[in-house]
Structure 1
Amino acid sequence: MSISVAFVDDHPILLDGLVNLYSAKDDLRVTARGENAIDALKIVEEHRPDVLVTDLSMPGDTLAALELIQKNYEGTKVVVFTATANIDTAIQVLNLGVCGYVLKGSTARDLYEAIKTVHDGSTFITPGFATKVILSMKTAEIRRKAQMQKRLSAREEQIVTYLLQGKTNREIASMLDISEKTVKHYMTLLMQKLDARNRVEVVLAAQKLQAPVETSAPQMLS
């Protein structure tokens, strides 16, 4: 069964080359082509391709178009094919739900593999560049968690410590010489800060907050 693919790029020669090259693949079927962000939206609305391969630097708001596609057309996987080797841009695009990020310096085989990979439900990033993107995402997550941990008040940190020890609200209240009602109030604040729905999730979130920060400390100091 062939994969339906659409290509969008504002460089006519490159677009012709992509269409001609991948139309020759037995397992791919090129269903549409376009030149700007509006075209990308229209193509997905009208043709519902399995995979949309699109540039970023085109007339129109490409990022807004990608966001709409990701929200409204789950059946279409998106591969960004761009000359933009900016890590922040790549992360922004991937956070929108885009499954592929291929640099234009890549081989035709890389783009072909990207189309196949995202269609199968996985993510594809240009080899080499992928390592930088993943490292940057991990670093940002560690910083986010560290910042979240710093935003906990001294009292909240005390309560988290006792939660990790498996203490009940009553036991925590006794140890901190406060009322059980006050402990429940802090639990509510912790659930909000840690995006947790219950006591168990607060404990799990607290464990995740602590482990990466402690692990990364030696690397940050070296």
Structure 2
Amino acid sequence: MRPVRVLLVDDQPLLLSGFALILSTEEDIEVVGQVTDGRQAIEGVRQHRPDVVLMDVQMPVLDGIEATRVVVAESDARVVILTTFDRDDYLFDALRAGASGFLLKNADTEDLLDAIRAVAGGHALLAPEVTRRVISRMTGRVDADGGPRLTEPAVTPGPPQATEALTQLTDRERDVLVRLARGLSNAEIAADLWVSEATVKTHVSNVLAKLGVRDRVQAVIVAFEAGLARPGA
């Protein structure tokens, strides 16, 4: 099998060279390019056709959000947002633009490698350290100090198009989507619903197709926007 082709996008040269050095030691990963802004990222995707793009958010010329939107629209490349999170207030716009997940810039080497392989394999990625904050900020449930507040009884229903998409799901598919929004893996969903993991995979595929989304992250966004899931559930 050919290696996973990766394009690195960051305006900090030291980070670029560090990521490239780490990835160059892996036989199943190939760095096909290193660029420093969103405009170059778009051109790099067109030229190199990577499988995965590690995309910074705050960059000159064109930021990572707009670059992600173009990359997702024009190619099959999957985008992982690289973030310090506390500084990236528009992370959710990047996810809605089609990013397959995000990773903290201070993540361990193994986490970085696992993320690239997982996203290249069609999975979505949410860094566990910030998953609760992602959910909280998306649904507007934050305390005065900016931290997550996970005790709210409900979430305000989201936009009509999200709610309408959910009506296409069967009861069991809705059950699966709710558990996806809670961060459960396929194996955990299977155990919770007393079905096989293969059955769960089928349900997940059906959910993604009916909602018209690329991966699990986008499905979770729909679930929260439509009020099907809520923090602390």
TM-score by length of 1: 0.62
Match of 2:156 among 143, 153, 157: 143
- Residue in 2 aligned with 1:45? 46
1:71 aligns with one of 61, 70, 73: 73
User: What amino acid is aligned across from residue 44 of structure 1 in structure 2?
Assistant: V
- Are residues 71 and 79 of structure 1, via their aligned partners in 2, closer, same or farther at CA, if it must alter by over 3 Å? same
- Aligned pair count reads 161
Which residue is 1:24 aligned to?
25
Tell me, yes or no, if the aligned pair for 1:85 and 1:103 is still in contact at 8 Å: no
Letter in 2 for 1:77: R
Aligned partner of residue 131 in structure 2, secondary structure = helix
Q: Structure 2: how far apart are the matches of 1:127 and 1:86?
A: 18
Instruction: Answer yes or no: is the 8 Å Cα contact 1:5–1:49 preserved in 2.
Output: yes
Give the conservation status (yes or no) of the 8 Å contact 1:51–1:119: yes
CA deviation string 1:184-218 (max 9, x = no partner) = xxxxxxxx99648xxx87xx9xxx9xxx68x97xx
The amino acid that maps onto 2:33 is A
After alignment, is 87-96 or 108-117 more displaced?
Answer: 87-96
Q: Which runs of 5+ in 2 are unaligned?
A: 142-153, 172-222
Which residue is 1:123 aligned to?
124
- SS of 2:5's equivalent in the other structure is strand
Q: Secondary structure at the match of 2:90?
A: helix
Retained in 1: the 8 A contact 2:80–2:100?
yes
Higher relative contact order (Cα pairs below 8 Å, separated by 6+ residues): 2
The structure having more radius of gyration, on CA atoms, is 1
- In the other structure, the counterpart of 1:110 is 111
Q: Indicate whether 1:100 and 2:101 are aligned.
A: yes
Give per-residue Cα distances to partners, 1:49-93, cap 9 Å, x unaligned: 0001121111122221111111111x1000111223368522221
The list of structure 1 runs, each at least 4 consecutive aligned residues, that deviate by more than 4 angstroms after superposition, is 138-141, 192-196
Query: What code does the residue aligned with 1:144 have?
Result: P
Task: Say if 1:22 and 1:30, in contact at 8 Å, map to a contact too.
Answer: yes
Give the conservation status (yes or no) of the 8 Å contact 2:38–2:59. Answer: yes
Task: Name the CA distance, whole Å, in 2 between partners of 1:123 and 1:193.
Answer: 20
Sort the Cα spacing of 1:125 and 1:85 in 2 relative to 1 into closer, same or farther, 3 A.
Answer: farther
User: What CA RMSD, in Å, does the superposition of the two structures yield over aligned residues?
Assistant: 3.3
- CA–CA distance in structure 2, aligned partners of residues 43 and 193 of structure 1: 33
> Per the alignment, do residues 194 and 4 of structure 1 end up closer, same or farther by CA in structure 2, a change over 3 Å counting?
closer
State the AA in 2 paired with 1:90. Answer: L
Q: Distance in 2 between matches of 1:135 and 1:35?
A: 31
Partners of 1:84 and 1:103 within 8 A in 2 = yes
Specify the SS of the correspondent of 2:156. helix
Q: Distance in 1 between matches of 2:162 and 2:88?
A: 28
Identity across matched positions, percent = 28
Output the CA distance in 1 between the equivalents of 2:40 and 2:55: 10
Q: In the alignment, which residue of structure 2 is the partner of 1:133?
A: 134
Check conservation: 2:58, 2:88, Cα contact below 8 A.
no
Extract unaligned runs of 5+ from structure 1: 149-191
Q: Offset of 1:118 from its aligned partner?
A: 1.1
Determine which structure has the larger helix proportion and give its number: 1
Q: Which residue of 2 aligns with 1:188?
A: none
Distance verdict in 2 for CA 1:32–1:87, change over 3 Å: closer
